[in-house]
Amino acid sequence: MQGAASKGYSNGYHQNGGHKLRKGNRGRRSHRDYGGDGSAARVFSATDDDSSPRPPPPPCTDFDMAYFHSYSHVGIHEEMIKDRVRTETYRAAIMQHQNYIAGKVVVDVGCGTGILSIFCAQAGAKRVRSLGVNTG
């Protein structure tokens, strides 16, 4: 099985060949490493150079279904939003990084109530696409 790096894409965690970096060197890149102004930071093409058909994704396991069903009840979302420390920490983090969000299209996958989508819109995102999961 080939790794993500050999396929030409990365999720940002597969840097340095999978080896741990020394403490104090977290491998941060400057905005110049992304093409000048930082506007291309971790943006990858949705098309693949490989024209061979991809295998279908694996089916959902019982664990996967239990996970999605656990979020199908309103109570869990209410509990998370009422957790002011959590919600304000998410908001503060998004606002702290709004220079990366402003003017960009944001996709919130598994958006739940959409609270993070709202924060991204407040941070100046050009568009916000919120994708939830329908379990029923």
Q: Which pair of tokens denotes residue 18? A: 């999978």
CA separation for the pair 63, 56 (Å, rounded): 19
Q: Do the Cβ atoms of 105 and 114 come closer than 8 Å?
A: no
User: Each residue of 25-48: pLDDT tens digit?
Assistant: 445 554 444 444 444 445 444 555
Distances from the Cα of 133 to the Cα of 6, 76, 109, 128, angstroms: 31, 15, 9, 16
**What integer pLDDT is reported at residue 69 of this predicted model?**
84
Helical residues (DSSP H) of 18-60, grouped into ranges: none
φ, ψ dihedrals at 111, nearest 5°: -70, -20
Residue 74 lies in a domain: yes
Helix (H/G/I), strand (E/B), else coil: 6: helix
**What integer pLDDT is reported at residue 127 of this predicted model?**
96
Residue stretches of the chain with pLDDT short of 50: 1-26, 30-41, 43-45
Residue 36 lies in a domain: no
- How many separate domains does the chain show? 1
Residue 120 lies in a domain: yes
Residue range of the domain that includes 109: 61-136
| CATH for 115 | 3.40.50.150
